[in-house]
């Protein structure tokens, strides 16, 4: 009987196309994906998200990799979605089942966010290998959508986390797991006030696994990854899936989808009132409080 041939990715060919991220193997069994757009505080456009997805796939399909770190260059982990981005869905290869991204009305934009935001986050959350976010500086709105799908979070003492997009007339960012991440009370506090919670506050709330000095962030994360990578792959996969299944049994996926529907009520309300997906006064409110 012929053995099943696993298709091998030509990693160098895939990586040569990337302009927003890096991929390295800093220790045995560990892949590190790095957001490499520090001049833009690692703001995400669709191209960066597609590259990230390819990198996660690459690490997941490489049988020598057991743990994946998601890190970022520069002072800040990520300022969120790049509001000045010009990339469109035309240049993106969808990996989910959503389509009709250019349809008029609510249809096209909802499909776009379902594919690029909720869809990719959920895909990464369910990768069958442990993932660790390595976080410094500010994490704002869409930045949380890269941190929260990871299994563990190591951050430096200067890290802060915020989702101020209620000022834009929507409920929060699209991957709405806030109550699962920080608890209902702190989730409402973050959303209502738009304030940034500190690393220590996030640690107390259980959102962050370890807080370390800034100069130790990279080594502490790598040490944790290498420690985990010494365990059997399948055991790790089963442990991860068991915890994720527990969250799913608590309604996590349904809650995300429910909030996503409300998020699009917000977008459509704004469109009817302001002819814009977001309330245009939002940026002024956020800047005045920064």
Interface residues with Zn ion (CB under 5 A) are 113
For residue 281, the SS3 value is coil
Please provide residue 27's backbone torsions phi and psi, each rounded to the nearest 5 degrees.
-155, 165
Least Å distance, CB 175 to Zn ion, is 10
- Tokens found for residue 276: 């814009």
Pairing relationship of beta strands 197-198 and 138-140 according to DSSP bridges: unpaired
Q: Which is nearer to Zn ion, 113 or 115 (CB)?
A: 113
Least Å distance, CB 253 to Zn ion, is 18
Least Å distance, CB 260 to Zn ion, is 9
Q: Which is nearer to Zn ion, 155 or 256 (CB)?
A: 256
Q: Which is nearer to Zn ion, 228 or 278 (CB)?
A: 278
Contact predicate 255/179, CB 8 Å: yes
Q: Which is nearer to Zn ion, 26 or 108 (CB)?
A: 108
Least Å distance, CB 247 to Zn ion, is 23
For residue 1, the SS3 value is coil
Alpha-carbon span 180 to 56, nearest angstrom: 23
Alpha-carbon span 72 to 32, nearest angstrom: 10
Q: Which is nearer to Zn ion, 124 or 175 (CB)?
A: 175
Contact predicate 209/221, CB 8 Å: no
Least Å distance, CB 266 to Zn ion, is 8
Alpha-carbon span 127 to 58, nearest angstrom: 11
- Tokens found for residue 64: 């020598």
User: Which stretches within the chain are classed as H helix?
Assistant: 11-15, 46-61, 105-113, 120-125, 144-147, 178-182, 184-193, 199-204, 217-229, 233-249, 252-274, 282-289
Least Å distance, CB 185 to Zn ion, is 25
For residue 66, the SS3 value is coil
For residue 208, the SS3 value is coil
Least Å distance, CB 173 to Zn ion, is 7
């Amino acid at each position: 009987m012929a053995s099943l041939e696993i298709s091998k990715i030509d990693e160098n060919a895939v990586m040569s196309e990337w302009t927003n991220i890096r991929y390295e193997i800093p220790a045995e069994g560990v892949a590190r994906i790095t957001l490499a757009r520090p001049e833009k505080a690692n703001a995400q456009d669709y191209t960066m998200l597609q590259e990230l997805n390819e990198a996660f796939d690459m690490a997941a399909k490489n049988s020598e990799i057991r743990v994946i770190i998601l890190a970022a260059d520069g002072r800040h982990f990520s300022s969120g979605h790049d509001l000045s981005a010009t990339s469109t869905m035309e240049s993106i290869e969808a990996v989910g089942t959503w389509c009709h991204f250019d349809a008029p009305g609510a249809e096209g934009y909802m499909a776009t966010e379902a594919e690029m935001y909720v869809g990719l986050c959920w895909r990464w959350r369910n990768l069958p290998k442990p993932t660790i976010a390595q976080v410094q500086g500010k994490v704002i709105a869409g930045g949380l959508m890269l941190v929260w799908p990871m299994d563990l979070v190591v951050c430096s003492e200067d890290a802060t986390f915020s989702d101020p997009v209620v000022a834009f007339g929507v409920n929060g960012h699209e991957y709405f797991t806030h109550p699962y991440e920080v608890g209902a009370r702190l989730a409402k506090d973050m959303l209502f006030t738009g304030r940034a919670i500190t690393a220590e506050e996030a640690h107390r709330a259980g959102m962050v696994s370890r807080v370390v000095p800034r100069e130790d962030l990279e080594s502490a994360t790598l040490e944790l990854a290498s420690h985990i990578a010494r365990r059997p792959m399948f055991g790790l996969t089963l442990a991860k899936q068991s915890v994720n299944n527990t969250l799913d049994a608590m309604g996590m996926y349904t809650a995300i989808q429910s909030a996503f529907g409300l998020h699009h009520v917000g977008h459509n309300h704004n469109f009817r009132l302001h002819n814009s997906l977001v309330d245009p006064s939002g940026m002024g409110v956020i800047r005045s409080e920064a």
